[in-house]
Copies of this chain bind each other. A is one copy, B any other.
Amino acid sequence: MRLLIIEDDRDATDYLVKAFREVGYVADHASDGEEGQALAMDGQYDVLIVDRMLPKRDGLSIIAALRANSVETPVLILSALGQVDDRVKGLRSGGDDYLSKPYAFSELLARVEALARRRGSRGEETVYRVADLELNRLSHEVSRAGQELQLQPREFRLLEYLMRHAGQVVTRTMLLENVWDYHFDPQTNVIDVHISRLRSKIDKGYTQPLLHTVRGAGYMIRDGAR
């Protein structure tokens, strides 16, 4: 699940990004209305979380602009206490939601998931499975053929991302963005190193390798039969 948070309060944003990441969601953020709108315009997000009051361009006008360009990503509006006016009501009828500050993260999470579900985006599995390889996102357990494996945090995120996109080639750039939160090329072989270590844990000793290198493109995890 990909989220975009458009919010100018730095602390609040950091807190949210961290919290969403902890539960395994990818959260980008924008600190003003223009930047946020530009990002959201691609329609690559499952849910947008938008502050009512923003520099450069307020939350409601962003939504209007998106809808005018037929970007139908559901939006959850954050508003200061008691600030919910009639326009917000109007928006809600469009299928979106609002939440007034202060709020509990768990509440926000619940609503975000509700929005995503309503829209039909799958609610995110708790267990990923590829052949006899299993990853449990709640307990952070990973096993192959029933054998428990010990992964490091980064390796876990890496595998989680790969398994979420099982059967698809995952590019290095995708990994940098979503597993490392790098938005630039580190010019090193970080990825290779971790792929190597991960591979030694999940594939070593098994006849059927699951983590495949796609030369020149990236990596892919899948039941190698075929």
A-to-B contact residues, CB < 8 Å:
11-12, 14-15, 18-19, 22-23, 28, 34-35, 38-39, 41-42, 44, 92, 97, 99-100, 102-107, 110-111, 114, 138-140, 148, 152-154, 156, 167-169, 171-174, 177-178, 183-185, 214-218, 220, 222, 226
**Would you mind naming 29 contact pairs between A and B with Cβ atoms under 8 Å apart?**
A11-B185, A12-B184, A15-B183, A15-B185, A18-B185, A19-B173, A22-B171, A22-B172, A23-B171, A28-B104, A35-B100, A38-B97, A38-B114, A39-B107, A39-B110, A39-B111, A105-B173, A105-B177, A138-B168, A139-B167, A139-B168, A139-B169, A140-B169, A140-B214, A140-B217, A148-B226, A153-B217, A154-B216, A156-B217
Whether B44 lies near A110 (C-beta < 8 A) is yes
Which of B18, B34, B41, B218 lies in contact with A22, CB distance below 8 A?
A: B218
**Stoichiometry, copies per complex:** 2
Residues of B within 8 A of A185 (CB): 11, 14-15, 18
Q: How far is the CA of A153 from the CA of B19 in the complex (A)?
A: 25
Give the distance to chain B from A145, nearest Cβ to Cβ, in Å.
Answer: 17
Which of B92, B173, B226 lies in contact with A34, CB distance below 8 A?
A: B92
A172 to B, closest residue via Cβ: B22
Residues of B within 8 A of A139 (CB): 167-169, 220, 222
Q: How far is the CA of A39 from the CA of B103 in the complex (A)?
A: 12
Q: How far is the CA of A11 from the CA of B110 in the complex (A)?
A: 26
Whether B92 lies near A22 (C-beta < 8 A) is no
